[in-house]
Amino acid sequence: MMPSSHAAAQHVPPIPPCAFKGPLRGLKVIDAGTMIAGPLCATHLADFGADVIKIELPGIGDSMRHWAPIKDERSLWWKVIGRNKRLVTLSLSTPRGQDLFKRMVRDADIVVENYRPGTFERWGLGYDVLSKINPKLVFVRVSGFGQTGPYAKRGGYGTIAEAFSGIPSFTGFPDRPPTLPGFPMADSVAATFSAMAAMFAIYSRDQGGSGKGQEIDVSLYEPLFRLAEAQVIGFDQLSIVKERIGNRLAEDSPRNTYRTRDGRWVGISASSQKTYERLARAMGKPELIDDPRYRDNALRCDNADSLDAEISAWFGRHDFAEISAIFEKADVVAGPVFDIRDIFEDPHYAARGNIVAVPDEDFGSVRMQNVAPRFLGTPGEVRHAGRSLGADNREIFVGELGLGETEFLDLQRQGVI
């Protein structure tokens, strides 16, 4: 099933916050970030029912509105990262914009921002100011290198953070350059850690007895560094410097992708003894079980080149469908390398509802990733795709903050909203 063409533009009416579903219903979040890391954090919260108000620069909007892929002069990426949010325009660099922001903060639970450290302080919107307005506020701050340290004021894009984390130094093949991921991994992981941290702070505030919010300092590189697992202790205790060895793991063999006779790729991980023995028998090579080079995982790691050669040769003599049938019958831990076309056609993705069609004001309906993870009691939902710039200005500034019509129009003319 390939992506279908969609209907012409339609009006997507706003859904009132009281109708939101999910475990975070009733939580109010101000997304004052830009690009990916901060806004994606807020999107995670919005997916689970939080009322997220996204702030954008008047007349320009978030930079993600202009990122490819583009259809009919509309960013499809924006449709995903801007989903489920109420949208206002507000210039935080102006005194009147700062005053409106402070009024919005009065009843907010969480503010998320990811500007260069010092920017919000320069605008008079640092945590010292905001916490006096709202002591219960949780202020999540995402930056390249964190709010402190000698590199704090450096610009910190995801690519720089990925390199700084050390991960590319051991990702890729030994005869090729360090490999960066094909998606904004640092931003996405930091966004996930930020959403998690925000909820830790809300729990501390509401259930831990403090009754107070706090400031949270998230860098782009530290969540990746945390995921590097045994790198630090391995160097500390054994002076191990992990190097690039392709798709393998130094601690796990066999672990690689293998090409079938008809050109498909299959990933295998068989480090435990039972999974390895099932693989060897399924390949019709039980002799590999008792081979002194492969009797346990440590030996297989020492002899990974020869073992990979054995497995690769066997894959090259069989088509993908045949291998799939053999492995399924033998309960071998393996799986095909999918591209997005495969994902759209896969029955498991369909059964799990991993791709969902949502209303969109420009294209009628668009499909995107569903909410993750799955809550069986209070599930999140995708209510609508990212909408037009300032779509909720009147609702929020007039309806909720109480601006008069004259003041509202005056702020529009001045470019404050």
Is 346 a catalytic site residue? no
Helix, strand, coil share of the chain (percent; to 5): 40, 15, 45
Measured CA to CA, the distance from residue 154 to residue 163 in angstroms comes to: 14
379 cis-preceded (ω within 30 degrees of 0): no
Measured CA to CA, the distance from residue 49 to residue 27 in angstroms comes to: 8
Q: What is the crossing angle of helices 37-47 and 185-206, to 10°?
A: 50
Burial status of residue 45 (CB atoms within 10 A of its CB: 0-12, 13-18, 19 or more):
buried
| Buried/exposed code over 241-271 (b: 16+ C-beta within 10 A; e: otherwise) | ebebbbebbeebbbbbebebeeebebebbbb
Strands across the sheet containing 334-336:
255-259, 265-269, 334-336
Contact criterion met (CB below 8 Å) for 238 and 250: no
Marked catalytic residue, from 47, 187, 308, 362: 187
Q: 189: helix, coil or strand?
A: helix
Measured CA to CA, the distance from residue 193 to residue 221 in angstroms comes to: 11
Contact criterion met (CB below 8 Å) for 255 and 269: yes
**Residue tagged 């990979």 (tokens):** 308
The closest alpha carbon to 51, from 28, 31, 35, belongs to 28
Measured CA to CA, the distance from residue 116 to residue 123 in angstroms comes to: 12
The closest alpha carbon to 257, from 266, 246, 269, belongs to 266
Contacts of 344 (CB under 8 A, 6+ apart): 1, 2, 3, 355
Name the residue type at position 249. L
Name the residue type at position 254. P
Query: Which amino acids are annotated catalytic?
Result: 187
